[in-house]
Structure 1
């Protein structure tokens, strides 16, 4: 764990003091799960379940806020079982899927989801042509129902493919009234009107939180970082944590703490749990 400033250390200490009224928000890929070539194989870190259950005893609630479909995150993370254990503590686990468009909790036990955006079908029809135009026809397409993600990580030159595709996808998505979400060698196209920052605001209001800790790894988490920064400006205790990598560092300048991937995330959460428990006892 590396604090980016003295203020970051002070914010961590302040959040420990209000741990029992704090919401912990976590991205999935690159935060709880290592980044892998095939997104269907992105299983949660083997230590994550135990760490989250221990953490739940010390905080108000925990939420996984991800671009993945909620059901997919539940399955890859074994989060229903984790939610059962958290429920035994009298606490609740939330999963916000597809940037908040879908929602599941360990008390409701079902995924609530809207209909797919109107322009997505037409975009999907044009996507093969766009891929062929830049020689990226072998990109992996992940149909999420409410969105589609174009993964270029497995191509011969993923950076060149990413750079060539992004402006094409942005222009076509604009005409379909869709939002483009760039990530780590992945470009996601989804409906407008929802993002991770709204999920942060929703949880804060529902829980009546006094603190918010959010951990993310790439540009898809930017709105969540901005929402937490707004809570800080209003006087709330907060901590922003970047799960950094060689591929993506956009969140580093905004973070109070920088950690090394999912291993570093879990070490930080375990340390926060221990510090909160020690202060409570």
Structure 2
């Protein structure tokens, strides 16, 4: 666990001091679950669910904020069971899927979701031709309902394929009024207007948070990092930013207060946070 500066250590202490009003937000892939070639097999790291339940004893709320569909994350993470256990401590687990477009909580226990964006079905019809033209016909295309993910991890040169596809995909998406979200060897296309930063701000308002810790690993988490940073600068909350470091995608390292080593490092961080907030509050 690498605290990037003395100021970062002070920020950690500040969120611990405000544990009773602390919301802990976490990405899923690369943060709670290891990155795998087949995204349908990305399960939460064993033991993490128990750590989340332990942490719930001393913080205001927990949230998983992800680009995946909420229903998929609930299943892959066993999060309905985690939510039940969190509820026994009088706390709430929020699952915000598809960058906050879908909402589930351990209180309401149903997924609230809008209609798919205009233009997405046309994008999906035109995508196979685009992939063939750019020598990426074997890319894995994930239909998320409200978005489409184009994964290059299975191709012979995943990074080169990602780089070839990014601008053509961005051009087609823009033509259809859609937004592109690059990630770790995946390009996601979805409706504009909602990102993880907006999801963070809504949670702060909803919970009345006094502190917010966000843990992520990818370009899709930049908006959440920026939102926590802005809220911290505004004096609205104490804020801590944790990067689950990856050699594939170093974008968050320079923005983070703390860098840990992937999902295993996230477990270590959650374990320490649970211990320190438990000491301070109990």
TM-score in terms of structure 1 length? 0.99
Measured in 2, the distance between the counterparts of 1:176 and 1:192 equals 11
Which residue number in structure 1 is paired with residue 271 of structure 2? 270
Per-residue CA deviation, residues 38-58 of structure 1 (Å, 9 max, x unaligned), is 000000011111000000111
Structure 1 residue 145, shift from structure 2 partner: 0.5
Structure 1 residue 131, shift from structure 2 partner: 0.4
Q: What is the SS of the residue equivalent to 2:141?
A: strand
Which residue number in structure 2 is paired with residue 75 of structure 1? 75
Which residue number in structure 1 is paired with residue 142 of structure 2? 142
Measured in 2, the distance between the counterparts of 1:222 and 1:54 equals 27
Which residue number in structure 2 is paired with residue 121 of structure 1? 121
Structure 1 residue 280, shift from structure 2 partner: 2.0
Measured in 2, the distance between the counterparts of 1:60 and 1:171 equals 42
Which residue number in structure 2 is paired with residue 40 of structure 1? 40
Runs of 4+ displaced beyond 4 Å: none
Measured in 2, the distance between the counterparts of 1:63 and 1:79 equals 10
For 1:80-159, list aligned pairs within 5 A: 80-159=80-159
Q: What is the SS of the residue equivalent to 1:90?
A: coil
Per-residue CA deviation, residues 205-249 of structure 1 (Å, 9 max, x unaligned), is 011111000001011001100100011001221100000111011
Which residue number in structure 2 is paired with residue 259 of structure 1? 260
Measured in 2, the distance between the counterparts of 1:223 and 1:161 equals 25
Measured in 1, the distance between the counterparts of 2:246 and 2:55 equals 24
Q: What is the SS of the residue equivalent to 1:114?
A: coil
Structure 1 residue 134, shift from structure 2 partner: 1.3
Which residue number in structure 2 is paired with residue 15 of structure 1? 15
List gaps (5 residues or longer) in structure 2.
none
Q: What is the SS of the residue equivalent to 1:112?
A: coil
For 1:189-204, list aligned pairs within 5 A: 189-204=189-204
Which residue number in structure 1 is paired with residue 225 of structure 2? 225
Structure 1 residue 108, shift from structure 2 partner: 0.4
CA contact (8 A) 2:19 2:281 kept: no
The number of equivalent residue pairs is 281
Measured in 2, the distance between the counterparts of 1:128 and 1:66 equals 26
Which residue number in structure 1 is paired with residue 238 of structure 2? 237
Per-residue CA deviation, residues 39-93 of structure 1 (Å, 9 max, x unaligned), is 0000001111100000011100000000000000000000000000001111110
TM-score in terms of structure 2 length? 0.99
Which residue number in structure 2 is paired with residue 250 of structure 1? 251
Measured in 1, the distance between the counterparts of 2:149 and 2:177 equals 16
Measured in 2, the distance between the counterparts of 1:66 and 1:91 equals 20
List gaps (5 residues or longer) in structure 1.
none
Which residue number in structure 2 is paired with residue 170 of structure 1? 170
Q: What is the SS of the residue equivalent to 1:94?
A: strand
Which residue number in structure 2 is paired with residue 50 of structure 1? 50
Measured in 2, the distance between the counterparts of 1:111 and 1:138 equals 32
Structure 1 residue 107, shift from structure 2 partner: 0.7
